[in-house]
Amino acid sequence: MELLTPGTGLLFWQVIIFLSTLLVLSKFAWKPIMNSLKAREKFIEDSLESAKKAEEELVSIQSKNEDLLTEARKEREMIIAEAKKVSNSMKDEAKQSAKEMADKIILDAKNVIDTEKDKAMNDVKNKLAELSIDIAEKIIKNELSKDSSQKKYVDDLIKEINDSK
């Protein structure tokens, strides 16, 4: 039965020593340990959260970059297309103007030719008129003499004209 009877001395010391251990440990061990554990847990939680935020930010930055890139690409394409258009239009214009110029040159040449031709025609006409007058003069002159010689004279005259031509 001695096993089941609590000894007074041990009871007394157990109360005193356990309570003082509790007091000492609460103040010098449990309090700092618990505070540090809590602080560390909070630190880890915060770190995880900020890491998550950073990741999200990274993703958003990446998507922004992508957007910028596609925009830049689009702009480039637009610029190239415009440049092509400008160059094409410039080419067309140049062609047009060249054609116009050529047309004008040709027209001018034609005009010059026409005027020259008219001039020449007029000259020829004048010459012809002169010749005709000459011929008529000579014929009239011959009519005064014999008929036969007259005829021969006309023929000679025509021959003469033809040769001179």
Partner 1 sequence: MSIFKYPKSLLIFFLIFFCCYTTSLFADKKEDSFDMGGMIMHHILDDYQYEIVHGLAIPLPIIIYSEEKGLMIFSSSKLFDDNHVPLEKGYNGFKYYHGKLKPVEIDASFVDLSITKNVFFLILTSSLMIIVFILVARGYSKKNQAPKGIQALFEPIIILIRDDVVKKNIGSNYERYLPYMLTLFFFILFGNILGLLPAAANLTGNIAVTLTLAVFTFLLTNFSGNKHYWKHIFWTPGIPLPMRILILPIEIIGVLTKPISLTIRLFAAITAGHIVILSFIGFTFIFQSYFVGIFSAMFVVGLNLVELLVAAIQAYVFTLFSSIYIGMATEDGH
Residues that bind partner 1 (CB under 8 A): 1-15, 17-18, 20-22, 24-26, 28-34, 36-37, 39-40, 43
Burial 84-115 (b: 16+ CB within 10 A, else e): eeeeeeeeeeeeeeeeeeeeeeeeeeeeeeee
Q: Which is nearer to partner 1, 36 or 111 (CB)?
A: 36
In whole angstroms, the minimum distance from the beta carbon of 45 to partner 1 comes to 12
In whole angstroms, the minimum distance from the beta carbon of 13 to partner 1 comes to 4
Cα–Cα distance measured from residue 150 to residue 143, given in angstroms and rounded to the nearest whole number: 6
In 3D, which of 136, 134, 138 has the Cα closest to residue 153? 138
Give 136's Cβ-side CA count (13 Å radius): 6
Q: Which is nearer to partner 1, 14 or 89 (CB)?
A: 14
At 122, the amino acid letter reads N
Q: Which is nearer to partner 1, 38 or 84 (CB)?
A: 38
Cα–Cα distance measured from residue 85 to residue 62, given in angstroms and rounded to the nearest whole number: 34
In whole angstroms, the minimum distance from the beta carbon of 15 to partner 1 comes to 6
In whole angstroms, the minimum distance from the beta carbon of 34 to partner 1 comes to 7
Q: Which is nearer to partner 1, 42 or 151 (CB)?
A: 42
